[in-house]
Homo-oligomer: A and B are copies of this chain.
C-alpha cells in the first residue's frame, strides 16, 4: 500500500478527496463528533501553540476522545491540515455568497479590490500564523479556497487589458499570489522571532545585532550595510502595502 490509487473501501464517491467524502452519520454514543468539531479544536490548538502543537493525539484529547476516533472523520493528518487551511480561506473569501456581484467594475477599481483581497489574506495570516506555512504548495481545492481564487481571478479579469486574455489573467493572479505567500511568510516569521526572543528591540538588527555588526564590519556586503543603516523602518503593514503597490504596477504594466 505504498501508492494509494487502488480502489480502497469501495464506498468512494468518485475521488478520494475530503471535499467529496460524506461525514459518517452522527452517533451520540460516547461523544458527539463531527468534522467541524475536530477542525475547530485543531484550529484552537494551532492558534495557541503553532502548527507543531497540532497532533492527532492532542486534538483528540481536547475533544476528550481517543486518538483513533478521529480517523473515522479524516483519513490522515494531512487531510485535517487541509481542512484547517480551507477554514481559514473562509475568512479570506468574500462574505457575499455571489462570487462576482459587480459585472462591470470601475476601470481602476481592480486595484482597490486586489488591495482588499490582499488585506484579508494578511489579516488571516496574522490571525493564524500557521496558515502561511501550509500555504504555497500545490493549489488548495477546498470550497473556500476555490471561492477565494475565483474572486481574485475575476478581479484581474476585470482589469483593463485582461478581458479576453485568460493566460495573462492566470499569470497576473499567479504573481499576486506568489507575492502574498512570499511576503507574508517572512512577516510571520519575523513576528514570531520577535515574540520569541523578548519584546523585540523594535529593530530586528539590534536584536540579532552583534553578529551582523561583526560581519558587516568586515567591509564586504556594503549594500546590506547601507540599507540596514539608513533605510527607513517601515511598519510591517507599510512594507506589505508598498510592495503590493509595486506588484500592482507590474500587473498594470502588463496590460500593454
CB distance from A46 to the nearest CB of B (A): 17
Contact A210 B14 (CB under 8 A): yes
- Determine the residue in chain B with the shortest Cβ distance to A178: B182
Q: What 0/1 pattern do residues 136 to 149 of A give for CB contact below 8 A with B?
A: 11110100001101
- Determine the residue in chain B with the shortest Cβ distance to A169: B227
Contact B189 A231 (CB under 8 A): no
Contact A171 B246 (CB under 8 A): yes
Q: How far does the alpha carbon of A250 sit from the alpha carbon of B242 in the complex, in Å?
A: 11
Given A193-B138, A246-B253, A249-B250, the answer on whether A232 and B183 have CB atoms closer than 8 Å is no
Q: How far does the alpha carbon of A229 sit from the alpha carbon of B231 in the complex, in Å?
A: 46
Oligomer: number of copies: 2
Contact B221 A138 (CB under 8 A): no
Cβ of A50 within 8 Å of any chain B Cβ, yes or no, is no
Contact A20 B211 (CB under 8 A): yes
- Determine the residue in chain B with the shortest Cβ distance to A171: B242
Cβ of A28 within 8 Å of any chain B Cβ, yes or no, is no
- Determine the residue in chain B with the shortest Cβ distance to A164: B230
CB distance from A121 to the nearest CB of B (A): 12
A150, A180, A190, A224: residue with the most chain B Cβ atoms closer than 10 Å: A224
Q: Which of B154, B178, B186, B249 contacts A243 (CB 8 A)?
A: B178
CB distance from A156 to the nearest CB of B (A): 8
Chain B residues within 8 Å of A231, by CB:
166-167, 169-170
Cβ of A254 within 8 Å of any chain B Cβ, yes or no, is yes
A141, A182, A208: residue with the most chain B Cβ atoms closer than 10 Å: A182
Contact B247 A136 (CB under 8 A): no
What are 20 pairs between A and B in contact, CB < 8 Å?
A15-B210, A20-B211, A137-B186, A137-B189, A138-B189, A146-B215, A150-B220, A150-B223, A153-B223, A153-B224, A166-B230, A166-B231, A170-B227, A171-B242, A174-B186, A178-B179, A178-B181, A182-B182, A246-B254, A248-B250
